[in-house]
Structure 1
Amino acid sequence: MFIRIASAVGTVALATGALLGIASPANAETNPSCSRVDQIGSTAYIKSGGTTIASVKQFKGCNKNWSYTYVWEGFRNSHSGTWWACSGVSTSGGLQDYKCGGNHQKEVWSSGANTLSVCTKAYGQLEWSNGEGAAATDQRC
């Protein structure tokens, strides 16, 4: 009896994990310009009408700060028209290292900003044919 209950609980846990995995915006976050980056600060979310459509994160690595914007699959699947994402590092002096991807590019890394000695935020923007949204992470010093 105990084995059957344990087996059933294990199956439910696996199924729940699988469902959560499907719903999440999982991504490898591999920086094409730096082999080792670590996320700093919290993740920010770009929303449209209360729906999350993209994530914005800040990373450090290779003696630079990096901004990363990832467009969620739900938005990508529901917007066949033109859309593009951008990402940059924001300091008190303004937006630096701002880079936009091509049409329908699901992730954009900034080029890397030499800003480790100042306070920074990652800034992400998503623009599409009839709208736009933006978000910034918390400030990291």
Structure 2
Amino acid sequence: MSRIAKMAAVAALSVPVLIGAAGTAQASTPSGCSSVTQIGSTAYLTVGGQTMASVKQYKGCGKNYAYLYVWEGYRSTHSSWNACTSIVTNGGHTLEDESCGNSGNPVEIWSFGASTLSQCTQALGWNGLGDWPDPGDATAKTDVRC
């Protein structure tokens, strides 16, 4: 087999691998915890009629974590944005260990780990900055997990 034919065969075999991996986004893990499992549903944060981000809740290392991922479609059509995420308890009235993307245009944000495994929790994401969503901030919550 010629050298060119070998290269073509290798390239042809590689295409399915690249195509299969292209649409899959893999989340990192939170600081200080290398293994987490998603619990509950994924919520979608919509801003101005466009999906900005996915919001998920994870458990691992004895804690709950909220995770927010800003979609590529939103990033490609906006020059700047803010986002925060948190675990919420008490029927959605108490924030636990929230984290905001203060470095500008965050792509993914993990909340700090909340010691709330014995409580009913949700993950909350919003498109602002601060300790709590302002009245004009868009928000999204996952389902309640007990």
TM-score normalized by structure 1?
A: 0.76
* Greater percentage in strand: 1
Alignment match, 1:88: 86
Counterpart CA distance in 2 for 1:35 and 1:19 is 25
Counterpart CA distance in 2 for 1:52 and 1:61 is 27
Alignment match, 1:138: 143
Deviations 1:3-30 (A, max 9, x none): xxxxxxxxxxx5xx949944x6x23332
Task: Map 1:5-16 onto structure 2 (within 5 A).
Answer: none
Task: Map 1:7-86 onto structure 2 (within 5 A).
Answer: 18=19, 21-22=22-23, 26-81=25-80, 83-86=81-84
Alignment match, 1:113: 114
Cα 1:19–1:64 change in 2 (3 A) is closer
How many residues in Structure 1 have an aligned counterpart in Structure 2?
123
Counterpart CA distance in 2 for 1:139 and 1:21 is 31
Q: Gaps spanning 5+ residues in structure 1: where? A: 1-13
Cα 1:18–1:41 change in 2 (3 A) is same
The one-letter amino acid of 2:125's match is: G
- CA-based RMSD of the aligned residues comes to 2.5
SS in 2 for 1:84: coil
Deviating 4+ runs (over 4 angstroms): 19-22
In percent, how many aligned pairs have the same letter? Answer: 50
Whether 1:99 aligns to 2:99 is yes
SS in 2 for 1:76: helix
Question: Is this contact kept in 2: 1:85–1:107, CA < 8 A?
Answer: no
TM-score normalized by structure 2?
A: 0.74
Q: Gaps spanning 5+ residues in structure 2: where? A: 1-15, 130-135
Question: Is this contact kept in 1: 2:50–2:74, CA < 8 A?
Answer: no
